[in-house]
Structure 1
Amino acid sequence: MHSQDENPSPPVRTSKSLVVADRPASRRPAWCGLRARPGEVARARSFASSEVFGLPFDAYEIGLITSELVTNAVNAARALGAWPDRMSPISIRMIATDRYVHLAVTDPDHRPLAGADRGGRLAEYGRGLSIVDQLAAARWVTYDERSKTVHVLIAATGVILSPAELEKVGMPT
């Protein structure tokens, strides 16, 4: 049996009818390496959803955005060839704060990202980035000679990000 002092609850402050548990304004960056297999999409979705637990974001939407980006990354990596199981050519980096989430998915295909929404509503492929663009505040891509990284910035409901915040996450202006 533990005394109350051994397992203290996080301090809670009350503001009128709203109760908010004290938590840090930002968490440490999180990272996850993924294999180039379709089954890794579910693992990525779970990783991203768990990173926003307790923050003012819809975990389902964060998971959906992650699923779309990781599906594209898996397809891009597989198009380059077969990858041994010991290799994780795809990575997710994520910084979650109480104001925004910066999600970055890197894959080993340095070619330009294909356009979004090719083929209309009934198309089997090409609608994922349109979904991401509807849910995110911003999306951009960075390239180097061996990879590309798709960045997504998701603002908390009612939050307008400052130019300093946008600069901090590396969003091009």
Structure 2
Amino acid sequence: MTPDPAVIADRAAPTVVTPVMPTSPRRPSWIALRAEPASVAKGRRFARDVVGGYTLDDDYLYLVRLLVSELLTNAVNAARAMRDWPYDSWPVRLDVAATNRWVYVAATDPDHRPLPAAAVGGLEAENGRGLHIIDGAATARWPIYREHGKTIHVVVAAPGVTLTADELRRIGVPT
């Protein structure tokens, strides 16, 4: 039997671990959420866990979590505006996929109506700033409307990365 190379003379040899940042997602991850404000924090934690394995940049991770907050706040508000949901209903969905070059986030809610026009009022407005924040930080944002809901998709390039048209097409960004 070959001895374990990490054990030499009954002592553990020091091991150097270098993080490996994959260039493609292993699999997209998703979570179903209730239509309640606490779901926004749960979604942020979920996104942090998914994206944290692909980046060591705290500012980038903060940005992704901010965009998830904005998307989920809109989705939860849209679901709640439709009706009261029973406690065991999970009408909001968050999808997250990450690589070392980009993060893809999508929030789905049961409201099929188009997004409202951007609110006027600038940074001091009470509502309507979320999409401005997303558009200012994201590489791409697009909605898909269906009979029973809508999904808002967002792609954020990693710091220092410019995504090619081919990469955006493979992610699913409409041309």
Taking the TM superposition and a 5 Å limit, the aligned residue runs for 1:107-146 are 107-146=109-148
CA distance in 2, matches of 1:170, 1:161: 13
1:44 is matched by which residue type in structure 2?
A: G
- Determine the structure 2 residue equivalent to 1:51: 50
CA distance in 1, matches of 2:102, 2:113: 28
Residue from 89, 92, 98 that aligns with 1:90: 92
1:59 is matched by which residue type in structure 2?
A: L
Q: Note the alpha carbon deviations across 1:74-103, whole angstroms, 9 max, x for none.
A: 110001001111111000111101110110
Taking the TM superposition and a 5 Å limit, the aligned residue runs for 1:8-157 are 12=18, 21-25=19-23, 26-56=25-55, 57=57, 58-157=60-159
Q: Secondary structure at the match of 2:114?
A: coil
When residues 68 and 41 of structure 1 are mapped into structure 2, their CA distance, relative to the original with a 3 A threshold, is same
Q: Secondary structure at the match of 1:166?
A: helix
CA distance in 2, matches of 1:158, 1:115: 31
Counterpart contact for 1:117–1:129, Cα < 8 Å:
no
User: RMSD in angstroms over aligned alpha carbons?
Assistant: 2.2
Return 145-154 or 110-119, whichever deviates more.
110-119
Counterpart contact for 2:51–2:97, Cα < 8 Å:
no
The structure that is helix-richer by fraction is 2
Note the C-alpha offset of 1:55: 2.2
Is residue 165 of structure 2 the alignment partner of residue 163 of structure 1?
A: yes
Counterpart contact for 1:74–1:90, Cα < 8 Å:
yes
- Structure 1 runs not aligned, ≥5 long: 13-20
Q: Secondary structure at the match of 2:154?
A: strand
The normalised TM-score by structure 1 is: 0.86
Q: Note the alpha carbon deviations across 1:88-142, whole angstroms, 9 max, x for none.
A: 1000111101110110100000000112243222211000111111111111101
Structure 1 residue runs of 4+, over 3 Å off?
A: 8-12
Higher-Rg structure is 2
Counterpart contact for 1:142–1:148, Cα < 8 Å:
yes
The normalised TM-score by structure 2 is: 0.85
State the aligned residue count: 163
2:44 is matched by which residue type in structure 1?
A: R
CA distance in 2, matches of 1:127, 1:99: 27
